[in-house]
Amino acid sequence: MAARSKQFIERQALHRKLLALWQQGQSPYCEVRGSEIHGRGVYARCFIPGKTRICEYVGEIIDKKQSARRGVALHAKSMETGDAAVYIFTLSKNFDIDGNVPWNTARLINHSCSPNCEAWIEGRRIFIHALRDIRAGEELTYDYGFDVDCYEEHPCRCGEPECVGHIVSREQWPELRKLLKSKRGKKPS
Ligand SMILES: C[S@@+](CC[C@H](N)C(=O)[O-])C[C@H]1O[C@@H](n2cnc3c(N)ncnc32)[C@H](O)[C@@H]1O
Ligand SMILES: [Zn+2]
């Protein structure tokens, strides 16, 4: 009897921990739906005023070695299956967050060349903030900040009028434009 009640208490404690973990990745401001940009995306449930902290990007904090290992494994998987989204987010010089956990709603936010959100690193946590007022039903997006070196691997389908065609950090657009121009110049007419 005592053993059974100990097990019951442990299960209850575990349940509470799991619930808290789940809730950390949810937000009253957004929900997951199919996206026209790619796969699933995250949408505003209601009007969101600019600067609002919308949700947290949650996951496992890992060091750079572990992060590189997981990155290599994901790359191998993408070569094999053609589909392996990366959910690893740079946290600091020494650590990343692997957000590949089902309760991390923010992992499904797509990239846009004209984003309405931005990720802010606050200590050892990452939060998604609204860059401007967001209408109810709008898809939430942020700039993935990918490096221009691997632009060819990441075509962009954000559909924005100013879309640059590849998922590349806005800061590196001038470099990307030069690369695209020289590539076009090399094509036989
Ligand atoms: C972290 S996931 C985002 C969620 C994804 N839509 C899903 O359903 O799993 C990142 C992947 O989504 C896709 N993606 C995100 N934004 C995109 C965009 N603007 N254009 C094309 N693909 C995009 C890319 O395949 C990228 O590697
Ligand atoms: Zn784009």
Local confidence pLDDT in tens for the 189 residues of the chain: 577 799 999 999 999 999 999 999 999 999 999 999 999 999 999 999 999 999 999 999 999 999 999 988 887 877 777 666 778 999 999 999 999 999 999 999 999 999 999 999 999 999 999 999 999 999 999 999 999 999 998 999 999 999 999 999 999 999 999 999 998 887 655
> What's 34's domain CATH number?
2.170.270.10
* Amino acid at residue number 166: H
- The pair phi, psi for residue 138, each rounded to 5°, is -70, 145
CA 73 to centroid of ligand 2, rounded, Å:
27
DSSP state of 109: P
Choice from 38, 140, 143 to test ligand 1 binding pocket (greatest atom count within 8 A of CB): 38
Alpha carbons within 13 A on the beta-carbon side of 108 = 21
CA 21 to centroid of ligand 2, rounded, Å:
33
Q: Are 43 and 138 in contact (CB under 8 A)?
A: yes
Parent domain of 105: 2-186
Ligand 1 atom 11: residue of nearest CA: 85
Q: How far apart are CA 60 and CA 98, in angstroms?
A: 5
Pocket of ligand 1 (CB under 6 A): 35, 37-41, 85-87, 107-108, 110-112, 156-158, 167
CA quadruple 148, 154, 157, 160: dihedral, nearest 10: -10
Q: What pLDDT does residue 71 have? A: 86
Q: What pLDDT does residue 139 have? A: 98
DSSP H or E stretch at residue 187: none
- Give the chain's largest Cα–Cα span: 83
Give the number of the ligand closest to the Cα of residue 162. 2
Atom of ligand 1 nearest to the CA of 113: 19
Question: Tokens 């957004």 — which residue?
Answer: 30
List helix spans (H) across the chain: 2-24, 64-81, 173-186
Per DSSP, what are the bridge partners of residue 134? 48
CA 106 to centroid of ligand 1, rounded, Å:
12
Contacts with 81 (C-beta within 8 Å, 6 or more apart), sequence order: none
Q: What pLDDT does residue 178 have? A: 96
Number of domains in the chain: 1
Q: What confidence tens digit (pLDDT) does each residue in 66-82 have?
A: 999 998 888 787 777 76
pTM: 0.92
CA 41 to centroid of ligand 2, rounded, Å:
15
Q: How far apart are CA 175 and CA 113, in angstroms?
A: 15
